Amino acid sequence: MNKKDILELKRRLKKTHCTFTKMCGCYVNSDKEIVLTIGETFLNLAEEELYKYLEIAGKTLSGTVGNNLLELPFPKEEEQSGGKQQFFMGLKESKLQNDALLDTFYHLIIDNYDYVGNYLILIFHDAYDVMKKTKDNLDLDESEEVYEYLLAAVCPVTLSKAALGYFEQESRFGSRQRDWVVGAPDAGFVFPAFTERSTDIHSVLYYTRDTKSPHPEFMEHILGCPARLTATEQKNTLEDIVTSAVPDDERRRDRVLYDIHETIHDMLEERALYAEPEHEPEPILLTAQTIQDVLAASNVPEEIAARIGDSYTETFTDIPPAADLIVDKKLLAAGAHIRKEEELMVEVQKLKDELAAAKTTASEPGASSCEVILTVAPDKVEQISAQVIDGKRCIIIPLNENEHASVNGEDNVI
């Protein structure tokens, strides 16, 4: 699923466009016990509640593709009888009307989701009548297919902070009662995926709020898919690889890391020059070969490049990172600042060297040590004379009324 596919689904999560048929869920306490279950015809909800649930659903489709949002393919074994993909197909086809399947779904999350505290499991069913579009991206009044899908969200439920509140009926301030409040989703998914505006039963779109700790157990044990690294994890892993390759020189390590990211950034800039405005450019995948080319273009020493290349190949064999997600803009800014400082230090050293050379030349035998150097028109040379005025030796250069003098480049100073 690309950004356009996700935005198309997300734009529908408004009261005027939403077609959710049913919403179910359960509230789980910190002892992993189901406190209550929910089952509602979605459009029959009170307006305030409906908007809150739509907001939760929208959050599950938010963030960066490849970082917060990961498309996960099902392994072949999970598409066979008894597999996770087959289970979710059955849950979808039941339109959330089968209590036994819902109970199995809730316990699948409860038994595998690594979370300490209370949380709310929500699952929505929808059938989206996908309209055909023209080349100009305009809707035609003709259905292309019906995309039937499930959207699930797992939201933490926490106690609100203690605070003073105003009690209007009593006209006084007092201690406000703490309430259990549903927070933004911590994890969730959309099944099946919506790829190129069509149903893809072979993949699921997974959402994680925390890209540093994306709950791999959710991907593996609940969805039945191999866990994928988020872009944040890939970026941190690359930094770890470089750190291991240059362990004892922090400044050199930072420079190598900066040079690598700068080269990747230049690759993206070059791609942008040739990209067609109406089409989303193809991602640049940093394969093992591509990273070798990046290291060479970054002038990384051969020994260090070999260590980085070996570790990189071993780590990113299956799913290479996308260049536009792994490049670190903060690192680029910091590196550019360091480069300017280095260039300034080179210029300062150059000036110091030139000054030292000038002093050496001036101190050599026969070198001029004059404090005053005159440059005059040839016909003025014979008019120059020296006189002692007030006990000081002075140079006298007569000026006619139409003549001007310049000292150190400044005109008419005399």
Is 125 exposed, middle or buried (CB count within 10 Å of its CB: 0-12, 13-18, 19+)?
buried
DSSP H or E run through 122:
strand 118-133
> Considering 207, 228, 249, which residue would you say is the last residue of a domain?
228
State whether 103 and 134 are in the same domain.
yes
State whether 282 and 304 are in the same domain.
yes
Q: Which residue has the tokens 């039937």?
A: 148
Six token digits for residue 22: 């049913």
* 312 within a domain of the structure (yes/no): yes
Is residue 404 within 8 Å of residue 412, measured between CB atoms? yes
State whether 87 and 187 are in the same domain.
yes
Is 306 exposed, middle or buried (CB count within 10 Å of its CB: 0-12, 13-18, 19+)?
middle
* 222 within a domain of the structure (yes/no): yes
> Considering 298, 327, 356, which residue would you say is the last residue of a domain?
327
DSSP H or E run through 199:
strand 198-200
* 185 within a domain of the structure (yes/no): yes
* 97 within a domain of the structure (yes/no): yes
Query: How large is the greatest C-alpha to C-alpha distance in the chain, in angstroms?
Result: 117
Asked if pLDDT for residue 90 goes beyond 80, the answer is yes
* 397 within a domain of the structure (yes/no): no
- Segment 312-357, tens digit of pLDDT: 998 887 788 888 888 887 877 777 777 777 778 888 888 888 777 7
* 379 within a domain of the structure (yes/no): no
Q: Tell me, what's the pLDDT at 363?
A: 61
Six token digits for residue 270: 């070059």
* 358 within a domain of the structure (yes/no): no
Question: What values do phi and psi take at 35, rounded to 5?
Answer: -85, -40
What band does 369 get if pLDDT is binned at 50, 70 and 90?
Answer: low
> Considering 267, 298, 327, which residue would you say is the last residue of a domain?
327
Q: Tell me, what's the pLDDT at 112?
A: 96
Q: How far apart are CA 305 and CA 328, in angstroms?
A: 20
State whether 141 and 57 are in the same domain.
yes
Q: How far apart are CA 75 and CA 80, in angstroms?
A: 9
Q: Which domain holds residue 315?
A: 236-327
Q: How far apart are CA 204 and CA 71, in angstroms?
A: 6
Q: What is each CA distance from 184 to 15, 59, 143, 264, in whole angstroms?
A: 19, 7, 34, 34
State whether 193 and 264 are in the same domain.
no
State whether 217 and 244 are in the same domain.
no
Q: Tell me, what's the pLDDT at 252?
A: 83
Q: What is each CA distance from 382 to 312, 389, 400, 410, in whole angstroms?
A: 80, 20, 15, 24
Asked if pLDDT for residue 412 goes beyond 60, the answer is no
Respond yes or no on whether the N-terminal peptide bond of residue 226 is cis (omega within 30° of 0). Answer: no
Beta bridge partner(s), residue 151: 124, 190
What band does 387 get if pLDDT is binned at 50, 70 and 90?
Answer: confident
State whether 314 and 209 are in the same domain.
no
Q: Which residue has the tokens 């050496």?
A: 360
State whether 242 and 220 are in the same domain.
no
DSSP H or E run through 58:
helix 47-59
Is residue 114 within 8 Å of residue 217, measured between CB atoms? yes
Instruction: Give the residue among 247, 237, 145 at the shortest CA–CA distance from 198.
Output: 145
Q: How far apart are CA 126 and CA 41, in angstroms?
A: 11
Instruction: Give the residue among 414, 63, 38, 41 at the shortest CA–CA distance from 231.
Output: 63
Instruction: Give the residue among 273, 314, 312, 282 at the shortest CA–CA distance from 294.
Output: 312
Least confident of 99-103, 140-144, 314-318: 140-144
Asked if pLDDT for residue 194 goes beyond 70, the answer is yes
State whether 206 and 261 are in the same domain.
no
Q: How far apart are CA 317 and CA 395, in angstroms?
A: 83
Of residues 1 and 120, which shows the higher confidence score? 120
* 169 within a domain of the structure (yes/no): no
Cα 325 to chain centroid, rounded = 6
State whether 214 and 306 are in the same domain.
no
What band does 207 get if pLDDT is binned at 50, 70 and 90?
Answer: very high
How many Cβ atoms sit within 10 Å of the Cβ of residue 278?
8
Of residues 103 and 398, which shows the higher confidence score? 103
Domain count of the fold of the chain: 2
Instruction: Give the residue among 251, 268, 271, 371 at the shortest CA–CA distance from 327.
Output: 268
Cα 400 to chain centroid, rounded = 74
Q: How big is the CA angle at 219 (ends 184 and 90), to the nearest 5 degrees?
A: 95
Q: Tell me, what's the pLDDT at 10?
A: 92
Is residue 186 within 8 Å of residue 210, measured between CB atoms? yes
Q: How far apart are CA 263 and CA 270, in angstroms?
A: 11
State whether 269 and 316 are in the same domain.
yes
State whether 268 and 153 are in the same domain.
no
